[in-house]
Chains A and B, each alone.
Chain A
Amino acid sequence: MLGLVAGFTGLVEGATGSFISPKIDVHALAPEIVLLVVAIAVLLIDLFIDETRKFLVNTIAGFGVIASAIPLVTLALEGSDRSMFNGAYVVDDFSLVMKAVFIIAGYLTLLMSANYLQEGDYHEGEFSFLIVCSLLGMVVMASARDLITIFVALETLSIPAYLLAGWKKRNRKSNEASVKYYLLGVIASAVMLYGMSFIYGVTGETVLVNIGAKIGDSGNANGLTAVGIFLVIVGFAFKVSAVPFHQWAPDTYEGAPTPVTAFLSVASKAAGFVALMELVFVAFFPRADVYGPIFWVLAVLTMTVGNVVALRQTNIVRMLAYSSVAQAGFILVPFAAVAEKQEAAVTAQRSIVTYLIIYTLMNLGAFAMVIAVARKTNSGEIDSYAGLFHYAPGLTVVMTIFLFSLAGIPPFGGWFAKFTVFNTALDGGGPWSVSLAAIAAVNAVIGATYYLKIMREMWMKPSPDGSTRIIVPPSLQLALGLCAVSVLAIGLFPGLITQFSEVARLFR
């Protein structure tokens, strides 16, 4: 895959001059290399391991994913930014932080899926393989600073996800989920590529920094670049399930196996936002006149429609799906704010990264809870949570933490995520940003309504007869514990993550 990247960049090089063999920085690529090795190893081990020990594959994948985080630490300690392939692939603080987020999300997903797969008659080995492959694409995305690399990363992370969405093989809803996700995903890719071709056509560049230098003044081709920017953003709007490009999300989320849903709603969405950040803050930055209005409209629609539709849901996974649509709307706010005041770019990037980190933890936690409860109730209906407090008080408290965090109530992490978004909007300061902040504030309240709906079921309704304790397997306990503790810790001491979100900045 990396050869592919190098090859593409080489082709571009070839168009302008003689071919120069690119230098490969092994240390900088170590996380990707480890993940690639893990993916292949998982596939091979799955071939030869005894049927009764398939669960080991998941464990090995989990440790492998953790191992891929080790080079992140060494790279961070070493400190210098590394750039390869003429600036198409950059390892800087931003990419390190985002890679860490993806790896954490991937690891938590593997933890959540361990018993889920064992008990549910799924193909276990291939599942872990595909998760790791998709993770590889995300990790590449965090470093991609080139239109083609971004596209390759996007396909690498998406194609395994299309398969995973249909992993419940004999389940029609799951098949539907997979097909819907695949078709709309491919259309989105096509739209995006079309837009990219416009941008390449006008600027003659694929490396984002160079595009950024030329795109501000493309003479009489300004209209053409505007169309290009619009199409690329629309393509990624599908990825992050922004309204009106969100229709695939609820069906896909409901049909897919729950750990996959968690992975899609968190990691895949975060990857889309990382790509959007790279594109907006590096390549499209001077064209605020184009992306500003687009993001403003997207943010308002995404927040409002996501929240309002979520109010009506009776299935918790569908509700969380619409909730994650609404959350994406909040993450879009800084993009719109930065268009009004470009000096706000620093706060904007900080708030997006902060939001993504916190959102990853709290949303994965909520899905882990859904998995835990479904082990007993075998249901995703919200009213199956009735009286949970009476027979599973511990789980109820943990779920309460995640739900209040998603609603943005202190002292749980989510408040700080929402806070940074408001912070950016008011840093933007103009009428568009402030009105957006007010709309976001109203949306935060609407959002709280449906999270409280679950709370009401858990705490205030009587429990069904004969309910016994829920037995949570250790790996799921670990996932829940990690998420809950970090959500609480971040909420009390936001400094824990601001030190990361502060350095995670893209440079033009």
Chain B
Amino acid sequence: MNLNDWALSLITFLPLVVAALVIAVPKADEDLQKLIALVGSLIPLGLVVWVLANFDYDRSGELQFSVNRGWIDLINSRFHIGIEGIGLPMLVLSCLIIPLCIVYSWNHFPDPHNPKAFLALMLLLETGMNGTFISQDLILFFVFFELVLLPMYFMIGVWGGPNRQYASLKFFLYTMFGSAFMLLGFLALYFKAGRTFDIAQLMTNVETAGISTNTQRLIFAGLFLGFAIKVPMFPFHTWLPDAHTEAPTQGSVILAAVLLKLGTYGFIKIAIPILPEGARFWAPVIGVLAAIGILYGALGCLAQTDFKRLIAFSSVAHMGYVMLGISTLTTYGINAAVFGMVAHGFITGMLFFCAGSLKERFHTLEINRMGGLLKTMPKLGWVLGFASMASLGLPGLAGFWGEFPAILSAYKPHPSLNESLFRVFMVVAAVGTVFAAGYLLWLYQRTAFGEPKAEWAGHEFHDVSTEEWIAWAPMLIAIVVLGIFPALLFGITDGAVTNLVDHVTKVLGS
């Protein structure tokens, strides 16, 4: 068995097998369930490390570890998987977050407990997420993209907060609405561009097939709807605060760290390379929505009284930066976007972990009822401060490299785009960073500084526990390391992004 061929399949489907094993364990034996789930999620992590070690970084624009087998012959859809410079960081992120969430869950299973089902759902999520990042066939991508919906729906709906039923339904329907139109877009591509669902083939076919500009724009609109709802971009974002607020901590972390990236990844991997003409046409719209999202998210944050809801709105703003970078269609912007995706994954994931731990101690997420965190729980207070600083884009931490280059890239967008328009976006985004600093520092001030609130007088708080440290340490380290050595990540993505932008330029130029 050649591991080169099997690595990606194992990374994707092993969690599914482990989930089945967890379900098979008797209900009472919770320790065994946790152990199997943890080991089962560490194996894909090990494999992805092996992939990292064997990845040829000089050819990061090319598909590696690829497998291409028949799947649904009738519609010429194939089991075509592989990984390149853009998917790899996402895959690593997804494989890392799941075991960390399992560790965090160890003694923190949300109500109604049932670790067996909870662990199985997390592993199922991993299968869906990993599969999305390695798919090189649109139908395969669609299946994984949708597969992610199910476990998250149950995580929010069963283990969520008081308003969980509404939130889970909203999450499900919004995403499904988008993906239905995305599927129509895929099918239109299939019929217009040589009856294939293979992403690489479609890239060349669309170029040569002579599809009318209007059709390309229309198809892009379909894909846009699917991905923009998942990101979520400004007018489609309303499901996100509800989903985040109601979801259990682990669900919020996975949602913020990986699920949102499925949308931005779709733009970079599918929509833009296959339909450069559509991308050119819609880029100003994406830019406007991104800029609005940045401001709207930031202003929304200022108005929140709920810790988790605030971070959810900050996600809207951060994904705005990512989308702004993407909309410039430049290597600079898209590299920044991929960096932003990874950085946001770690940082916002971390903030949601903090939120979960605060909730567990205070039994509330009302910001006004917290305070004096540095006195009652200094360690947790410092971790929260660290994550907030990273989130507002402090140089030297990971958040900076996602935000700052994205803003800069809008100064000089792709030559086919309107330069002055994007400079306006740049100014708006820059103003957004000020707001970001404002709401995060204000949040930190209200929660960490000052004296503990009178209602908690005499209340004994546990500071950060061991399993919290284990779950958080890798993320904290990653935030620092990526902040100091951004080349680690840019080195992986740059080759793939350059390829992509070259392709776009070639098509738009001709």
- Confirm or deny: A404 has a beta carbon within 8 angstroms of a beta carbon on chain B: yes
List residues of A (412-440) whose CB comes within 8 Å of B's CBs: 415, 419, 422-423, 426-427, 429, 434, 437-438
- Confirm or deny: A449 has a beta carbon within 8 angstroms of a beta carbon on chain B: yes
A456 vs B169: C-alpha distance when bound (angstroms): 9
Q: Which 9 pairs, one residue from A and one from B, show the smallest C-beta to C-beta distance?
A: A441-B180, A498-B74, A410-B143, A426-B187, A410-B146, A445-B177, A494-B72, A460-B157, A445-B176
Could you give 14 example pairs across A and B, Cβ below 8 Å?
A: A409-B149, A409-B176, A410-B142, A415-B146, A419-B183, A427-B191, A437-B184, A449-B173, A452-B169, A456-B165, A460-B168, A494-B74, A495-B74, A502-B74
B: contact size bracket: 20 to 34
**Is the CB–CB distance between B180 and A429 below 8 Å?**
no
Give chain A residues whose Cβ lies under 8 Å from the Cβ of B177: 442, 445
Q: Which B-chain residue is minimally distant from A459 (CB atoms)? A: B158
The interface residues of chain B, by DSSP majority, are classed as helix
Q: Give 9 new A-B contacts, CB below 8 A, not counting A410-B143, A438-B184.
A: A422-B184, A422-B187, A429-B191, A441-B180, A442-B177, A445-B177, A448-B176, A452-B153, A455-B157
For B146, give its contact among A409, A422, A429, A494 (CB under 8 Å).
Answer: A409
List residues of B (230-251) whose CB comes within 8 Å of A's CBs: none
- Confirm or deny: B154 has a beta carbon within 8 angstroms of a beta carbon on chain A: yes
In whole Å, how far is A303's beta carbon from the nearest beta carbon of chain B? 13
Q: Which B-chain residue is minimally distant from A457 (CB atoms)? A: B165
**Could you tell me which A residues sit within 8 Å of B by CB distance?**
350, 389, 404, 407, 409-411, 415, 419, 422-423, 426-427, 429, 434, 437-438, 441-442, 444-445, 448-449, 452, 455-456, 459-460, 493-495, 498, 501-502
Give chain B residues whose Cβ lies under 8 Å from the Cβ of A460: 157-158, 164-165, 168
**Is the CB–CB distance between B157 and A423 below 8 Å?**
no
**Is the CB–CB distance between A426 and B188 below 8 Å?**
yes
Q: Which B-chain residue is minimally distant from A424 (CB atoms)? A: B187
Q: Which B-chain residue is minimally distant from A447 (CB atoms)? A: B176
List residues of B (180-231) whose CB comes within 8 Å of A's CBs: 180-181, 183-184, 187-188, 190-191
**Is the CB–CB distance between A410 and B183 below 8 Å?**
no
Give chain A residues whose Cβ lies under 8 Å from the Cβ of B142: 410
**Is the CB–CB distance between B164 and A441 below 8 Å?**
no
A494 vs B146: C-alpha distance when bound (angstroms): 16
Give chain B residues whose Cβ lies under 8 Å from the Cβ of A389: 158
A434 vs B183: C-alpha distance when bound (angstroms): 13
Give chain A residues whose Cβ lies under 8 Å from the Cβ of B184: 422, 426, 434, 437-438, 441
**Is the CB–CB distance between B191 and A426 below 8 Å?**
yes
A350 vs B75: C-alpha distance when bound (angstroms): 11
Give chain B residues whose Cβ lies under 8 Å from the Cβ of A441: 180-181, 183-184
A179 vs B143: C-alpha distance when bound (angstroms): 45
Give chain B residues whose Cβ lies under 8 Å from the Cβ of A493: 71
In whole Å, how far is B131's beta carbon from the nearest beta carbon of chain A? 10
For A498, give its contact among B72, B144, B165 (CB under 8 Å).
Answer: B72
Q: Given the interface contacts A495-B72, A498-B72, does A459 sit within 8 Å of B143 by beta carbon?
A: no
Give chain B residues whose Cβ lies under 8 Å from the Cβ of A501: 74
**Is the CB–CB distance between B150 and A444 below 8 Å?**
no
Residue with the greatest number of chain B CB neighbours at <10 A, chosen from A422, A441, A449 = A441
In whole Å, how far is A193's beta carbon from the nearest beta carbon of chain B? 38
Give chain B residues whose Cβ lies under 8 Å from the Cβ of A442: 177, 180
- Confirm or deny: B73 has a beta carbon within 8 angstroms of a beta carbon on chain A: yes
Residue with the greatest number of chain B CB neighbours at <10 A, chosen from A415, A419, A438 = A419
A438 vs B184: C-alpha distance when bound (angstroms): 8
Contact with A along B329-351 (1 / 0, CB 8 A): 00000000000000000000000
Q: Which A-chain residue is minimally distant from B159 (CB atoms)? A: A460
Give chain B residues whose Cβ lies under 8 Å from the Cβ of A411: 143, 147
**Is the CB–CB distance between B143 and A415 below 8 Å?**
yes
In whole Å, how far is A314's beta carbon from the nearest beta carbon of chain B? 16
A429 vs B188: C-alpha distance when bound (angstroms): 8
For B150, give its contact among A409, A429, A437 (CB under 8 Å).
Answer: A409
Q: Which B-chain residue is minimally distant from A428 (CB atoms)? A: B191
A389 vs B147: C-alpha distance when bound (angstroms): 21
A437 vs B188: C-alpha distance when bound (angstroms): 11
A494 vs B365: C-alpha distance when bound (angstroms): 46
Residue with the greatest number of chain A CB neighbours at <10 A, chosen from B153, B158, B183 = B183
**Is the CB–CB distance between B164 and A448 below 8 Å?**
no
In whole Å, how far is B275's beta carbon from the nearest beta carbon of chain A? 16
- Confirm or deny: B281 has a beta carbon within 8 angstroms of a beta carbon on chain A: no
- Confirm or deny: B282 has a beta carbon within 8 angstroms of a beta carbon on chain A: no
Q: Which A-chain residue is minimally distant from B73 (CB atoms)? A: A495
Give chain A residues whose Cβ lies under 8 Å from the Cβ of B55: none
